[in-house]
Amino acid sequence: MLGCIRTIVIMGVAGSGKSTVGSLLAQQLGWRFVEGDEFHSPQAKQMMASGIPLAEQLRDSWVRALCAELDACKAARQPCVLSYSGLIAQQRQQIRSSADNGHFFYLQGDAAVLAKRLAQRQNHFMPAAMLQSQLRTMQSCINESDITLLDIRRPVSRLVQQITRFLAAQNAK
């Protein structure tokens, strides 16, 4: 483990690689991986699968469930990596409040790259048609100092390496 207990949030729209990067990072750090998609209600998954953006109430209940899981990790002093879209600034603040010394990594990429990835993805409830809705919904994080932007065109191993180097540098301070 790299020093102090932390919560790492891997955020981005569908197709950005949150789950892939998050699970590999958690594995390398020996931390718990919390897959945000697993906390969506069956109703929410059905809506998204049908191409319907989540209503605010469903998104809020999802974020509350994620926060409860982060609170449990914090109480158990268990560091974790959370994959989560992070579309809404206010909801990122809720996640921040439950995180244990957290930091966000925003996987950003061009819409065409994201669409290509989504078209190749299989066995996931989120259809490629939802990408534009997520891109429109994603609120700016320009004034949030605990978010590091990462380019999704880089290989997953390189992204994980960037994050672990960032953590090592922060823990060396």
Q: Output the pLDDT for position 155.
A: 95
Q: Is residue 129 part of a domain?
A: yes
Q: What is the domain extent for residue 43?
A: 11-172
Question: Per the structure, how many domains does the chain have?
Answer: 1
Give how far the C-alpha of residue 28 lies from the chain's centroid of Cα atoms, to the nearest Å: 17
Residue 4: inside a domain, yes or no? Answer: no
* Cα 27 from chain centroid (whole Å): 16
CATH number of the domain that 167 lies in? 3.40.50.300
Asked if residue 5 is part of any domain, the answer here is no
Residue 124 lies in a domain: yes
Does the structure show a pLDDT above 90 at 128? no
Q: Is residue 123 exposed (0-12), middle (13-18) or buried (19+ Cβ within 10 Å)?
A: exposed
Residues 28-77 have pLDDT tens digits of: 999 999 999 888 778 777 776 676 766 777 788 889 999 999 999 999 99
- Global pTM reads 0.88
- Max CA separation in the chain (angstroms): 47
